[in-house]
Chains A and B, each alone.
Chain A
């Protein structure tokens, strides 16, 4: 079979750091070729080389057997390569059609745009690949899944024959993902070459034909998807067998720590986000909230952390160890023993330009023990950072000088967890998507830490869109749907039903849709 993309001994160095070393890889035409690996394994760099965003330090890139040196994505696009980025490159205020033809208007500068002709092409593409989307709609009005379809239509419009997808399912719901895979298959069947970057192994196994595994900047193996299991792939990625779920000894919950009664949240526009939400979290248990994103989880977190929009109307009760927390400021809550790991790490949990030490301090910088005159005690902070780094196995250089942004996603998250798990007088730990964007090796370590914190007697509220994470960790599970807990599985139920995980996931699925 013909080869669409071939890399021959390609290396890419950034200063002293080797992101890709000596990569040789052939990607066959008309196939779905997945590249998997942990965060920081070099997948993105590799695709950026193919897409002309980076020039390789050494080695040669062949596109359809012709050696190429792209100095910009424009050249790569001209050679028939397209990319759907993780963060979409769309102009929200323009219509779908305008977005698709952007950069390929095929008309003179001051001539009217050939919108009608373009629309016809788009419609045809949309039909033949099952990419239904209204060509006249403004991009702002589209759902995330639809926006992704627009990105794919853009590639089709440019007649790309090699398509790169960077973590395409990160933002999609399970049903949208399923639909995307259908599209990918039909694209392949029409002879397009698909390069799929991901770290979700289930997806890779269900959609890819060939899988290349990357580790530490190298390709450790390329296998046919039909001849490999999830465990084997995971082993190739991290170089050791990992437990897909950590040991979770039976919990012995104590007194109620967090109690929410008939909590309601209404936006100024009158939209109801939470309604009669009632739940209790006891010391020494993990209460998992299972649900599809957008069913009130974010609003619940805002209420718990004191960050609700000023105009929002909140009713009901929320008490921590018997004392109401409603109306308290974020800084006060932290002092009363609540810790929060926010959903969006880079936006909310860290200051990326600060050093590792400074980030270990962030949000806890008001604690007296770190203070020294008007500033911080560098000796205390050094000790604290060293303890945290050792305890959470954070891989970094000197914590006082290394910027957080240079760490991998998993290590960044460990910094956040180390900080939040060890607040003084902590009694409630709220974890939102604790392993999002984190590689498998780190997930296991983080799960272990969560169980450990529970054993210490902390009350833990866990919100995650990964159902298997909820099932693996939770003592009790509440299913959230349209702002209420619609069903709760008690401790006995959870430990019993965990035995047949697949059935249990299905049952939870019924309650959250």
Chain B
């Protein structure tokens, strides 16, 4: 009997999101027109350079992979009312660890073992960095927003110092490359699709991670407890649920996802660590998670959308500054939030 209402709620949410994106696109078109270009031509170019070309598709998938994972890093703790702003720091620590592990492995190591080791090291590094914020929150009462922001700075400083003074190849800003075996094969190499693009097998890991998180949250006892602790911490305590340990596991899981995102960049594409390797993509994870309503599966289309605006913006950068597409990203979030509020008022 109540089924239709829950159904309606999902469709309604989808509709509101769709409408917000459409409006954001409209405003973006207006801005492009104001900048003296024909929006239709720009959009057409964007589409043909991404969805229309096999290299562009690959780029889109590559961007989507990292965005999905840093989105998860925000979305999972969000379920426990923890706002993880530290995706960037976790990504950075993961990236540095992945590269370091990759360079230290012997040349003769079999690929499976090398990839596994490097990926796990990256995930562990991301998880530890996030857990640090979690422990500070649970044990010392440091607000996780402050904690993670500060840890971002520290991560940046540590990796910067280690790179510049210890590990960079002289007169460059990057480390020596990882061993060949540790490189995650590109999809082009495996399937022949996505000509020469950086899209690699970690995309499959990312989607598995999203599925795993979805399963954990909505179909496991662990998720039942975790969501309860997030919705009503006091009640959870009465139900014998340890909210603190769930806070820690959510942060750890989120950090591990960010670490996996780093593996995509370092092991799948760059093959070494360099200054600015992550390029602030960890912060975009916050918006990706917000647009998806912190739902692990909705993160996939959300990450695709952001990947599209990021890479699509680059392809038309010669015609129109790509900053315009940063506006559309931010606008989309603001519109989703305000449209949801309006929808509630008029219901």
Contacts and interface: CB of A to CB of B under 8 A. Distances in A.
Given A347-B232, A352-B232, A330 B219 contact: no
Interface residues of B, number: 23
Contacts, number: 73
B235 A375 contact: no
A362 B221 contact: no
B99 to A, nearest CB: 34
A425 B5 CA distance: 38
B172 interface: no
Contacts of B225: 365
B2 A398 contact: yes
B238 A374 contact: no
B224 A376 contact: yes
Given A353-B231, A374-B219, A397-B1, A305 B224 contact: no
A347 B235 contact: yes
Contacts of B44: none
Contacts of A347: 232, 234-235
A476 B221 CA distance: 41
Contacts of B6: 401
Contacts of A375: 219-221, 224
Nearest to A15: B5
A334 B228 contact: no
Nearest to A305: B238
Nearest to B235: A348
Given A352-B232, A354-B228, A371-B221, A363 B2 contact: no
A350 interface: yes
B222 interface: yes
Contacts of A342: 238
A363 B224 CA distance: 11
A52 to B, nearest CB: 15
Contacts of B3: 398, 401
B238 A349 contact: yes
A363 B240 contact: yes
A366 interface: yes
A402 B5 CA distance: 9
A374 B239 contact: no
A353 B219 CA distance: 16
B2 A330 contact: no
Interface string B269-303: 00000000000000000000000000000000000
A366 to B, nearest CB: 7
A51 to B, nearest CB: 17
A376 B221 CA distance: 7
B340 to A, nearest CB: 16
A189 interface: no
B237 interface: yes
Q: Which of A330, A350, A375, A402 has the most CB of B within 10 A?
A: A375
Contacts of B236: 351
Interface in B210-246: 215, 219-222, 224-225, 228, 231-232, 234-241
A412 B39 CA distance: 55
Contacts of A406: 2
Contacts of A334: 240
A398 to B, nearest CB: 6
A363 B239 CA distance: 4
B217 to A, nearest CB: 11
Contacts of A353: 231
B231 A397 contact: no
Nearest to A362: B239
B235 A349 contact: yes
B237 A330 contact: yes
A363 B238 contact: yes
A436 B26 CA distance: 53
Nearest to B228: A351
Interface string B1-44: 11101100000000000000000000000000000000000000
Contacts of A285: none
B220 A374 contact: yes
Contacts of B240: 329-331, 333-334, 363, 366
Q: Which residue, A353, A371, A406, has most C-beta atoms of chain B within 10 A?
A: A353
Nearest to B5: A15
Contact of A374 (B1, B222, B241): B222
Nearest to A364: B239
Interface in B177-228: 215, 219-222, 224-225, 228
A387 B6 CA distance: 24
Contacts of B5: 15
Contacts of A333: 240
Given A353-B231, A365-B225, A374-B219, A330 B1 contact: no
Nearest to B224: A365
Contacts of A15: 5
A33 B30 CA distance: 59
Interface string A377-409: 000000000000000000001100111001000
Interface string A319-353: 00000000001110110000010100001111111
A151 interface: no
Given A347-B234, A348-B238, A401-B3, A362 B228 contact: yes
Nearest to B1: A397
Interface string B243-267: 0000000000000000000000000
A358 B235 CA distance: 13
B337 to A, nearest CB: 19
Interface in A355-372: 358, 361-363, 365-366, 371
Contacts of B224: 358, 361, 365, 375-376
B235 A397 contact: no
Given A353-B231, A354-B228, A375-B219, A403 B238 contact: no
Given A347-B232, A354-B231, A363-B238, 4 more contacts: A334-B240, A349-B235, A363-B239, A365-B225
25 contacts: A305-B238, A329-B240, A330-B237, A340-B238, A347-B235, A348-B237, A351-B228, A352-B232, A354-B228, A354-B231, A361-B224, A363-B238, A363-B240, A366-B221, A366-B240, A374-B219, A374-B220, A374-B222, A375-B220, A375-B224, A376-B224, A397-B1, A401-B2, A401-B3, A403-B2
